[in-house]
Amino acid sequence: MKKLLLCFFVITFCNACTKKKKSPLVGKWKLTHVLVDPGNGKGAFQKVNQKKVIEFFDDGTLKTNVSYCPLDDDKTIGMSGTYNMNHTLLIMPCTSSGSKINFEINESILIIDYPTQCMEPCKEKYTKID
């Protein structure tokens, strides 16, 4: 019985000490490139020098230093939102239903896609800064 209890204690202790795997999205990301497409589908990412930053948190929330809502008059006001890694989706509170923005992440590159906000492809590329 003592061996069984000891075994149970060791297994419980080991499971409690394992770190949860942190999402690769968690941290600060800075805008570095914007996709410029003249409407023919042959657009390319162009380097930009902006201070647009998104910070993602472990709890599925995010904060930005600018607005991501297409109809906002003042784009310099930051905002909060949520993200879902399973559906690669950012949700911003732009309207009552929210504005849904797709994303993809590849190592230290984050690409945000605005599928409903532009007639041509509309994407931004971010690099992790923290």
Burial, 83: exposed, middle or buried (Cβ in 10 Å; 0-12, 13-18, 19+)? Answer: buried
Which backbone phi and psi does 45 adopt, to 5 degrees?
A: -70, 135
pLDDT in tens, the chain (130 residues): 555 444 444 455 545 555 556 788 999 999 999 997 777 778 889 999 988 999 999 999 999 998 877 666 666 678 888 888 887 888 777 754 556 788 898 878 999 887 655 666 788 999 999 7
Burial 24-39 (b: 16+ CB within 10 A, else e): ebbbebbbbbbbeeee
Domain residues for 25?
2-128
Domain with residue 54: its CATH number is: 2.40.128.280
pLDDT of residue 98: 57
Total number of domains constituting the chain:
1
Strands (E) in the chain, as ranges, are: 27-36, 44-47, 53-56, 61-64, 79-84, 89-92, 99-106, 109-113, 123-128
**Residues contacting residue 118 through CB under 8 Å, at least 6 positions apart:** none
